[in-house]
Each structure stands twice: as structure tokens, then as C-alpha cells.
Amino acid sequence: MLNITPVSITANIQKSKFKTFRNLESRTNSKWILKILLTVFVICILFLFLPWTQNIRSNGTVTTLNPYDRPQDIQTLVGGKIDNWYITQGDIVNVGDTIAILTEAKEDYLDPEILGNTKEQQLAKLRSAEAYKEKRKFLSEQLISIGELRDSKLEQLKLKQSQIELKVATAKLDLEAANTYLDNATKQLDRMIIMHEKGIKSLTDLETKRLSNRHAQAKLQSVSNKLDALDNDKSNILREIEMANADYNQKYSKIESEMTSADSYRYSMIGESNKLQSKFNQIQQRQDAFVITSPINGRITKVLRNGIGEYVKAQESIATIVPTEFRKAVDLYIKPYDMPLIQVGKNVRLQFDGWPAIVFSGWPDNSFGTFGGNVYAIDNDISENGMYRIIVVEDDSEKKWPDLIRIGSGARGLLLLNDVKLYYELWRNLNGFPPDFYEPGKIEKVKNKAPIKKVK
């Protein structure tokens, strides 16, 4: 009521008769509400001083660390016709287990005796090479024999040459003696002529001296002819030596040419033999390649070619296999804004699809259902989605990741950084500042640093 008159009627109103007045007078005191609000406010203030672990959130997928642990296609090495399958989709196979068998489909290899025929050709070439090797051996022995024959003949000719030279020396002495004898006979004849003219000697004595002079001349002529004959024999011996050397050189060159030809044919046979051996190995490897085996221990997840009698090309995929044992990893994608804070070895908390977890991002110790990991590698090149990829592997010091995790399933990660107070983290997020990050080594060095003593 408005108190606009000095006359009051409040004393004349019986408030107990009116419900409204009764409700107004019976309302509860609001002190309890104030106490509750004050308590909540104090708790919130205290809550702001709790420790908070700064983190970076990211999403990714489960993968494998090693490239050979990832799903891969089983390919054919050569083309052929599918003869039989030995697996079905979902089968678990080991290394070397037969997946399928192919049969030959190329007309160049349809001969059922192609391996045997190729081997016989290769052996025939080897035998030809051995024959040329034996021929070269015989030619080498023949060359040695010719050399020995030449040496023997040259020794005979040199011995004969020595004998002739000795005879020449003797003939020269005889010639000198004949010249002396002729000179003496001539002088005696001259004196005999003088003495005959004076009547001292008879005509018979003169004729005797003339006959002796003619004998001396004849002997000189005979010795001179003999010396000329010996010179001719010496020249003939020299020509025989030259002819023997020339004949040997000719035969030597001919045999060397035959040896070179034998070597050439032998090497040619060896080369053709090696080609045939290579062809034999290729055919053998080709026939072995018709048996398609498993390269790893894994599970056949998909058969890409169907039926029996279907043709496949070389290097064509016929099935997909997933390893049964592999080292799991997680690909996480980080914004470029947070990349300077990431280091190899940093701890990561992971949550996988299909494994429920209660995650408190700032209190990793109180997060349930998450798994530990460490940063294994960081890409230097940005991905197509505009973020950088990091690889996280299992932390051996914590509980193992679930065995039923499948490659390609989703994962979420929390990369743990520095420990701060909650009020600071709220203030940082409100202002858009980056997280605080300190290298563990630097923090330990600062903590362990000895205090500086003041000099008095």
C-alpha cells in the first residue's frame, strides 16, 4: 500500500486472515543460500591453483611402424593361367604357404621338354669349348715340339758352321803356305834360268824347276778354289740358318693363329653356354614362379582374381594379405602452430576407437582407458591436410596397447607439455598465448645448479 496519507490503517488489518500476508511472514531466510554460494566461490578459487598439464590435442589413425608390416598385395612374378587356389578369404597363412598355382600360357615355353633340351644344348656348347681347349693344348705342345726341332737344327747348323770356319782357317794357312811355296819356286826358276843361260845348269834341271813352279801354281790354285768352296759352304750355312728361323717363325705364327682361333671359338662356346645356362635358369625360375606363396605370416583379406582357368598378367595382384604380427604405431597430425613444441621422445596419451576412456586432458594421471606412447618420428614436410604428421609408438614402460586394435582405426592423442597452475592455463587460453614449453634437460640443469656465493 502506498503511504500517501498521514492516516494509517495497518493496525486495523488482521494479517492472519489473509494468505498472502501469511506467506510473506513465513518466508525462509536466504543466509543458507549465501553460505552455499560463498563455499562454491572459495572452492572455485582453490580449484584455480590446482596443477594443470598443458597439452596438444590431435587426431590420427592406427598404422604400423615398419613398411613391411602393412597390408600388401600378393603379385604374380610371371603371367599364366590360374590352375588351382589353396586359400579362401580370411585364412591365416605362414611364410611359404601356397596361395595358388599357375600354368604356362606363353607359347615360347609350352614345350614340356624345354628344360632338358636347353640343358643338353648348354652341355653341348660346354663340350665344344672343352674340345677347343684340348685343341689349343695340342697346338701348344706342337709349338713346343717345333721350337725344340728348330733348336736342334740350329745347333747342327752352328756346329757345321764351326767346322767350316775351322776348315776356312786351315785353308787360309794352306793358301799362305802355297803362296810361299810358289814364291820360292818362282825365285828358284828365275835363278835356274840364269844359271842355265850361263851354262851352269842343264836343261833338265831347268825343266824340273819349271815343273816345280807349275806344281806350286796348281797347289795355290787348288787351295784358293778350296777356300772359295768353303766360303760358299759358309754362306750356304748362314742361309740355312736364316731359312730354319724363317720356317720356324712361319710355323710358329700359323700355330699361334690356330691357337688364337681355338681360344676365340672356345670363348664363343663358353659365352653361348652361359647364355643357355641363363636361359635354363630363367625357365626354371619361371616354372617355380607358377607356385604363388605367401611372403609373410598373415591373414588373406581379399582375393582379387576369381575362378579357375582365368589368365593373369605378370606383376598383377591376385590377393591382399595383412600381417598377423606387427608393431603398431599411430599417425597424429599436428598444427604448424604447435610444431615447435614437439620433440622426439615426448610422452603422448592415446585413446583408441572402441576402447571407452575417461579423459582429463590436464590431469593425465587421472585419465582412465588411455594408453601411453612416445613420439618416434616427425615429418619435415607438411601433409595434404595442412598439418604435420608425427609417428607415435607404444611406451614399453606402461600397459600394452590392445591386441584387437586394427590398422586404420581412429585414435586421439594428448601430447603432454609443461605443468602449470589452472588459473594460468585459463588466462593463457583467454589471451591466445601458446603453451609454455621447456626442454627437460634445461630444467634439470637449472634445478641442479649450485648457488652463487657472495664475496664478503
- Residue 198 and residue 301 share a domain: no
Residues 6+ apart with CB under 8 A from 63: 70, 328, 329, 330, 331, 391, 407, 408
The answer to whether residues 169 and 268 belong to one domain is: yes
Residues 81 and 61 in one domain: no
Say whether both 84 and 130 belong to one domain.
Answer: no
Say whether both 392 and 428 belong to one domain: yes
Contact 320, 73 (CB under 8 A): yes
Nearest to 139 by CA among 262, 244, 246, 250: 262
Tell whether 15 is covered by a domain: no
CATH of the domain at 92: 2.40.50.100
pLDDT tens over the chain, length 456 residues: 455 666 666 666 666 666 666 666 655 555 677 788 888 888 888 877 777 666 778 888 888 888 777 888 888 888 888 889 998 888 899 998 999 999 888 888 888 888 888 889 989 999 998 998 898 888 888 888 888 888 888 888 888 888 888 888 887 887 788 788 878 878 777 777 878 777 777 778 778 877 887 887 888 888 788 888 888 888 888 888 888 888 888 888 888 888 889 889 889 999 999 999 998 898 888 888 889 999 888 889 888 887 788 888 888 888 998 888 778 899 999 888 778 778 888 888 888 887 776 555 555 555 556 788 899 998 888 888 888 899 999 888 888 888 888 888 888 887 776 666 777 777 776 766 666 644 444 434 433 433 433 333
The answer to whether the beta carbons of residues 16 and 380 sit under 8 Å apart is: no
Question: Are residues 306 and 423 located together in one domain of the fold?
Answer: no
Question: Rounded CA gap, 119 and 99, in Å?
Answer: 30
- Domain of residue 261, residue span: 114-284
Q: Does any domain span residue 11?
A: no
Note the pLDDT of residue 360: 52
122 and 243 together in one domain: yes
Burial annotation 175-201 (CB, 10 A radius, 16+ → b, else e): beebeebbeebeebbeebeeebeeeeb
218's grid cell? 796348281
pTM for the full model? 0.53
Q: Which of 253, 266, 33 lies closest to 127 in space, CA to CA? A: 266
Residue 339 located in a structural domain: yes
Q: Helices 114-198 and 203-289: crossing angle, nearest 10°?
A: 170
Q: What is the pLDDT of residues 329-342, one digit of tens each?
A: 999 998 887 787 78
In a domain, 6, yes or no: no
CATH of the domain at 362: 2.40.30.170
Measured CA to CA, the distance from residue 433 to residue 303 in angstroms comes to: 53
In a shared domain, residues 81 and 161: no
Task: Provide the 10 A C-beta neighbour count for residue 388.
Answer: 20
Q: What was the pLDDT predicted at 448?
A: 42
Query: Is 10 inside a domain boundary?
Result: no
Beta bridge partners of residue 291, listed in sequence order: 101
Is 232 within a domain? yes
How many domains is the chain partitioned into structurally? 3
Identify whether residues 316 and 376 lie together within a single domain. no
Strand partners, 351: 412
Look at residue 424 and tell me if it is in a domain: yes
Residue where a domain terminates, one of 260, 284, 308: 284
- Looking at the fold, whether 238 and 130 belong to one and the same domain comes out as yes
What is d(CA 85, CA 316) in angstroms, rounded to the nearest whole number? 16
According to the model, what pLDDT value does residue 24 have? Answer: 61
From 158, 86, 171, 132, select the one nearest 272 (Cα to Cα).
132
pLDDT, tens digit (0-9, with 9 covering 90-100), for 128-147 = 989 988 988 888 888 888 88
Do 330 and 435 have their domain in common?
yes
Residue 82 lies in a domain: yes
Tell whether 300 and 356 lie within a shared domain: no
Take residue 200 and report the three cell numbers written for it.
851352269
Per DSSP, the residues of 72-132 read: EEEE-SS-EEEEEE---TT-EE-TT-EEEEEE---GGG--TTHHHHHHHHHHHHHHHHHHH
Task: Check residue 275 and give its pLDDT.
Answer: 92
- Reported as a single tens digit per residue, the pLDDT across 62-112 is 888 887 778 888 888 888 888 899 988 888 999 989 999 998 888 888 888
Residue 312: count other Cβ atoms within 10 Å of its Cβ.
Answer: 21
